[in-house]
Amino acid sequence: MPGDGGLRLDALRWRQQVVGVEHEVRLLDGGRTTYVNLDNAATTPVLRHVQHMLREAEEIYSSVHRGAGYKSRRTSDLYEEARAEVLRFLGAQDGKRVAIFTKHTTEAVNKLAAEFPLERGDVVILSEMEHHANLLPWRGRAEIAYLPVDAQGRLDLGALPDLLERHSGRVKLVAISGASNVTGYVNDIHFAAEMAHRHGAMIFVDAAQLAPHRRIRMLDADDPGAIDFLAFSAHKLYAPYGAGALVGPREFFRLGAPQLRGGGAIKFVSLDDVIWDEPPAREEAGSPNVLGAIALGAALRSLEAMGVERLEAREHELLLYLLGRLGEVPGVEVLGGMASDERIGAVSFVLDGVPPMLVAAALGWEWGIGVRAGCFCANPYVMRLLHLSSPQVAGLRDEIARGERSHLPGAVRASLGLYNLEAEIDRLHAALMAVSLGEFKGRYAIETETGEYWPEGAQEAWSTL
């Protein structure tokens, strides 16, 4: 479909369906411009349909699963419809899977790590590409083996069979991201699943970045390439109201005791006994984030209506454009290289001689462009992509431990949403050209505790926004 002019027309239509895309912001020099949001990998704006759906849901907003009144029953219906939508979106309606609402991906991984039965000597395979959300919860729970990335930063899945073999019989889980939030590289999760299953392990996919950009099929539970567990966040899927989901085998969540315990999770409680409810209820103790879940369901319905494959095709077109424009800027180096295959629209780069935090500050204050700079909660991966040596990493660690963040390594990330346009990338290009030539409108100073750059006069400019 690349080159299909209809995709651009679609993008213009989709743009109309997103809230806040024409928002005006004030710049450092007092001028005004329409904000360009290229920070969608962090959080996406709201879809209009989600906003409407929420307004309606608020009219009947009430408790779920507990009240006998009309509003409570209706709210419970909407909550459960959202749950069904999550399973539909992932092709996981075989009845063997269950969707559990969480706050976000981070909570979902923590829940899974807390509940996954692991004993001394068990191994969990992670990768060097992971976001901290899929690194830290597993540490201390099992022996960790890391799947390496290659020189480009792509996951070396070819090393997985050997790794599984090396720890034969001890690997209980392979937990990898579906797509990187740094390079945008997409991993072959079904190959990884097949390998894991062949060695008696299960697979978890952190789909925080994959779900907003690619059609996901968890596949029938008895398919060798099926995904056992998967998590994602609503706020990266145009429904930023604090919901997320963990999807996994219903039977798994019947075992043991839930991590979170309290009301709503039980069938019976006496002073010394408890009978836990069936999943998903037993995994959702306490009053859930009903509106967040309803928003997520509405967003997923909207994305389906737009056409997930068409969204993918348009994003690829825009990714090619972004990579091409970045390639024109002297001194820009894209982390992981310029290849566009198997890559979502998240591209991180460095600009020779200009600290990434300074680039990001100038883009924001002088050009009205929102990006993110730093290590994107994937410190090991970014340090690897920046080719930092072990002594350099150790030195940085000591500086940071002392509260000194002036030399933070990192990159600038431009990440695409379904509403972004070529003209917005042109603005990024113009801004980077200026920055690469040292043309700043402001005088910037670094804040050592945060590593962020602030222009002189920022306070006044901010207070008059």
Q: List residues near ligand PLP by CB under 6 A.
A: 104-106, 131, 133-134, 177, 181, 206, 208-209, 233, 235
**Contact at 8 Å (CB) between 123 and 144?**
yes
Q: What is the DSSP string of 245-261?
A: EEEEETTGGGSS--SS-
> In terms of CB distance, is 33 or 259 closer to ligand PLP?
259
Long-range CB contacts (< 8 A, 24+ apart) of 281-285?
Answer: 281/65, 282/253, 282/258, 283/98, 283/100, 283/111, 283/246, 283/253, 283/258, 283/259, 284/100, 284/101, 284/260, 285/258, 285/260, 285/261
Handedness of CA 92, 97, 98, 101 (dihedral sign): negative
> In terms of CB distance, is 75 or 187 closer to ligand PLP?
187
Longest dimension (CA), the chain: 72
Locate the DSSP E strands across 104-233: 123-127, 143-147, 171-177, 202-206, 229-233
CA distances for 119 relative to 165, 172, 173, 250, angstroms: 19, 10, 12, 22
> In terms of CB distance, is 75 or 180 closer to ligand PLP?
180
377 carries an active-site annotation = yes
> Minimum distance from CB of 134 to ligand PLP (Å)?
6
Q: What is the DSSP string of 280-317?
A: TGGG--S---HHHHHHHHHHHHHHHHH-HHHHHHHHHH
> Minimum distance from CB of 87 to ligand PLP (Å)?
20
Locate the DSSP E strands across 89-219: 97-102, 123-127, 143-147, 171-177, 202-206
> In terms of CB distance, is 7 or 99 closer to ligand PLP?
99
> In terms of CB distance, is 367 or 376 closer to ligand PLP?
376
> Minimum distance from CB of 440 to ligand PLP (Å)?
29
C-alpha to C-alpha distance for 83 and 98, rounded to whole angstroms: 9
> In terms of CB distance, is 234 or 432 closer to ligand PLP?
234
In this structure, the number of other CB atoms found within 10 A of the CB of residue 272 comes to: 5
C-alpha to C-alpha distance for 223 and 227, rounded to whole angstroms: 9
> Minimum distance from CB of 205 to ligand PLP (Å)?
10
> In terms of CB distance, is 125 or 329 closer to ligand PLP?
125
> In terms of CB distance, is 146 or 454 closer to ligand PLP?
146
> Minimum distance from CB of 109 to ligand PLP (Å)?
7
C-alpha to C-alpha distance for 395 and 406, rounded to whole angstroms: 13
Q: Which run of H or of E encompasses 458?
A: helix 458-463
C-alpha to C-alpha distance for 38 and 346, rounded to whole angstroms: 9
Q: 265: which strand partners?
A: none
> Minimum distance from CB of 179 to ligand PLP (Å)?
7
Q: Which of 377, 414, 428, 435 is catalytic?
A: 377
> Minimum distance from CB of 220 to ligand PLP (Å)?
26
Determine whether 267 is exposed, middle or buried from the number of CB atoms within 10 Å of its CB (0-12, 13-18, 19+).
exposed
C-alpha to C-alpha distance for 122 and 141, rounded to whole angstroms: 9
Q: Which run of H or of E encompasses 379?
A: helix 379-385
> Minimum distance from CB of 181 to ligand PLP (Å)?
3
- Which sequence positions are flagged as catalytic? 377
